[in-house]
Structure 1
Amino acid sequence: MEEYPSILVIDDEPDNFDVIDTLLDNTGYQLNYASNGEKALELLESFLPDLILLDVMMPNMSGIEFCQIFKGNPLWQHIPVIMVTALTNKEDLSQCLTAGADDFISKPVNSLELRARVRSMLRIKQQYDALQDTLRLREDLSRMVVHDLRNPLSSIVLAAEMIQLPNFSPERLQHKVNQILIATQQLESLIDTLLLMAKIESGKMLLNLVEIDLCGLCTRVVKDLSAIAGQKKLELVLNLPESGHYINVDVALFRRILENLLSNAMKFSPSGSKILLTVNYPAPKRVKIQVIDSGPGVDANLRQSIFQRYEIGTLMKDTSQIGLGLAFCKMAVEAHGGQIHVEENYPQGAIFTIDLITDLSES
């Protein structure tokens, strides 16, 4: 449901509020009213508007005094204030701006000017809100990325420390070496994903398209991830056509897509289950790749948003979820001119499907 901007009108004359209400009719703004500065400050403890229209000449607390208090509060100072004043002296107007007002409009108020100044200030407020959302998002992302980087690093450090213990058997040594290798792969995968996403998003990444055997690439990816799958008691299964095809893709980027989809499936698949990677060619110059699991699946209302950055589907205890893997897959698949979507795997699980239209040559 769309939320309309809220405006707080502070004026000791109720008739002036009625004028403002009339001049802003049919704009969709939510207008609120306070008859003096003291009541406005009380209201602001529980309600923050997107904009304040403030009368200058008010008894007890003038608009300038209110503005000084209002702009002196760090929680409120980002909210724009338009002074509504009958003053025309430049010194008086300068005093309004010095008090912290962002703009002013002279009485009698003109509808066209009022609407233009309100739109301008609300646009600035929306830009500020968007910037704050981005900063919060980056802060959250930084915390999640640090957490995800720390996990494999901790595994590497712990395994390395245990190797140094006396009387460490060759069997246990090999086991710990394998743990270090797996943790290193996880660390490398996360770093590569972050770097590739930054390049794609900035438009600085040019695809290095080469002709490859798609089935061969899928086979190599599954082989490389089999150790991690085995550690989680999962089985990666390939379902490939008898005759393969060569397609033009950026090998490094496309390999990362497959790795991310399989890694995502491994995160959510129950122990002892199978994860299926299939390739087929449903039509000329068209290839379909699917990763099929039997995990919790993706709710119908999340099947679009789950491909957005930092969005996650089902929260899983003790499972790393920073919402980057699927966002990267979408960006990389679309960079190849393809599409990716997710659907239900009846009776349980998810099917992630990549559809590509490409020049194919039979191998």
Structure 2
Amino acid sequence: MTISASILVIDDEPDNFDVIDTFLHDDNIQLSYASSGSRAIARLQDIQPDVILMDVMMPHMSGIEACQIIKADPQWQGIPIIMVTALTSKDDLSRCLNAGADDFISKPVNGTELRARVNSMLRIRQQYASVQNLLRLREDMVNMIVHDLRTPLSSIVLSADMLQSGQLTAAKQHHKAEQIMTAARQLQALIDDLLIMARIEDGQMLVDRTTVDLRHLCKKALEEFEAIAQQKHLDLVGDLPAQLNPVHVDATMLRRVIDNLLSNAVKFSPKGSQVVLKADSLDQSTIIQVADQGTGVRLDLRQIIFEKYETGMSAEGVTQLGLGLAFCKLAVEAHGGDIRVDDNHPQGSVFTISLPIYVGGSQSTMV
């Protein structure tokens, strides 16, 4: 056993605890002791054991009764309980299992068997914890998706209501129509990111490689973000050499990656600052960079921001679901490349995509 664990031993005979302590003292396990079921239940909150070893035959409250109480509490029902018993009849053992026990071991306890059964229950405990974490993550994900869908949807509904009122000037009508279109694009982008990520993770995404003029693709992205940048009084700059080697990529997927990075840079950049999109052709790779002058990304966040539903640091007035960077990572890796974030001196962040030189022309592959 290589993991650290906490085990609660419940037995009215202290000598039995000493036996278990002898068998498990070399296994990186922290043992706690309770002399009765009622005392153990009162101490569960403080001990928070990973496994419980419970004697069956105890005065006042039997191990079976204590097991039933513990397993009836949702807070503790995920803790595996091993019943330690001198009983051997099938009826007695079935009573232990029916009470909620996960396993049992017979007295006198054998050290090899005890370690094997404890190790088995610790694996179950870890699996249970993993499932609970996944369920919490899924619940958080659903809440974040609902929130991020509601924001542009509310903008669409409000703007549509104002248009229907018939009380707006022509200029304001045009402005509200633009707001509706912007919000609709946000909804479409979020849904597209979710669908593409799911397909990539399931190995069902088709990477349709064609020969792409990277300079032209970057310039088109800059043109589409120019209006948004002007609204925030940002200077949007393209550092694109006249001679830039073509790349063999899925043009739609790479464009979405660049759009996501530009969108984040614009979101988190202060007014009056600069956002730069840069590309360069090296001997063995193509480099694409998006640099901003925002608050930057702390060292401890530079890996997790590329995980799903991780948003890193928040900014006032900015809402985002942690999908954009996760999509970028999956899409870049589907092309055999990598993505990272570094400091932009003197202030801000630089997101760098490195794509290897691809030889093979136009073709489609599944990832």
- The answer to whether TM tops 0.5 is yes
Of the structure 1 ranges 23-32 and 292-301, higher mean CA displacement relative to structure 2 is found in: 23-32
Partner of 1:120: 120
Of the structure 1 ranges 221-230 and 295-304, higher mean CA displacement relative to structure 2 is found in: 221-230
Contact 2:3 2:28 in 1 (8 A): no
**Percentage identity across aligned positions?**
56
Q: Shift in Å at residue 45 of structure 1?
A: 3.6
Separation in structure 2 between the aligned mates of residue 266 and residue 164 of structure 1, nearest angstrom: 32
Partner of 1:301: 300
Of the structure 1 ranges 211-220 and 310-319, higher mean CA displacement relative to structure 2 is found in: 310-319
Separation in structure 2 between the aligned mates of residue 229 and residue 191 of structure 1, nearest angstrom: 24
Q: Shift in Å at residue 92 of structure 1?
A: 1.0
The yes-or-no answer on 1:50 pairing with 2:50 is yes
What secondary structure, in the 3-state scheme, does the structure 2 residue paired with 1:164 have?
helix
What secondary structure, in the 3-state scheme, does the structure 2 residue paired with 1:271 have?
coil
The yes-or-no answer on 1:73 pairing with 2:73 is yes
Separation in structure 2 between the aligned mates of residue 360 and residue 85 of structure 1, nearest angstrom: 68
Alignment of 1:275-290 (within 5 A): 275-281=275-281, 283-290=282-289
Separation in structure 2 between the aligned mates of residue 131 and residue 167 of structure 1, nearest angstrom: 54
Separation in structure 2 between the aligned mates of residue 168 and residue 69 of structure 1, nearest angstrom: 66
Partner of 2:30: 30
What secondary structure, in the 3-state scheme, does the structure 2 residue paired with 1:132 have?
helix
Separation in structure 2 between the aligned mates of residue 274 and residue 176 of structure 1, nearest angstrom: 28
Partner of 1:344: 343
Contact 1:81 1:102 in 2 (8 A): yes
Contact 1:6 1:31 in 2 (8 A): yes
Per-residue CA deviations over 1:120-170 (Å, capped at 9, x if unaligned) read: 111111111111111111111111111111111111111111122334222
Structure 2 unaligned runs (5+)? 361-367
Runs of 4 or more above 6 Å deviation: none
Amino acid paired to 1:171: A
CA RMSD of aligned residues (A): 1.7
Separation in structure 2 between the aligned mates of residue 146 and residue 188 of structure 1, nearest angstrom: 14
Partner of 2:352: 353
Partner of 1:266: 266
What secondary structure, in the 3-state scheme, does the structure 2 residue paired with 1:207 have?
strand
Alignment of 1:176-255 (within 5 A): 176-255=176-255
Of the structure 1 ranges 157-166 and 253-262, higher mean CA displacement relative to structure 2 is found in: 157-166
What secondary structure, in the 3-state scheme, does the structure 2 residue paired with 1:225 have?
helix
What secondary structure, in the 3-state scheme, does the structure 1 residue paired with 2:220 have?
helix
Per-residue CA deviations over 1:4-59 (Å, capped at 9, x if unaligned) read: 22111101111111111111122112211111111101101433211100001111
Alignment of 1:144-163 (within 5 A): 144-163=144-163
Separation in structure 1 between the aligned mates of residue 149 and residue 16 of structure 2, nearest angstrom: 59
Separation in structure 2 between the aligned mates of residue 124 and residue 268 of structure 1, nearest angstrom: 43
Amino acid paired to 1:256: R
Separation in structure 2 between the aligned mates of residue 179 and residue 274 of structure 1, nearest angstrom: 24
Q: Shift in Å at residue 108 of structure 1?
A: 1.2
Amino acid paired to 1:241: P
Partner of 1:313: 312
The yes-or-no answer on 1:107 pairing with 2:132 is no
Amino acid paired to 2:271: S
Separation in structure 2 between the aligned mates of residue 200 and residue 26 of structure 1, nearest angstrom: 45
Separation in structure 1 between the aligned mates of residue 28 and residue 205 of structure 2, nearest angstrom: 43
Per-residue CA deviations over 1:210-261 (Å, capped at 9, x if unaligned) read: 1111111111112222233233332321110111221111112111111111
Separation in structure 1 between the aligned mates of residue 27 and residue 299 of structure 2, nearest angstrom: 35
Contact 1:247 1:360 in 2 (8 A): no
Separation in structure 2 between the aligned mates of residue 181 and residue 126 of structure 1, nearest angstrom: 47
Contact 1:246 1:360 in 2 (8 A): no
Contact 1:285 1:360 in 2 (8 A): no
Structure 1 unaligned runs (5+)? none
Partner of 2:364: none
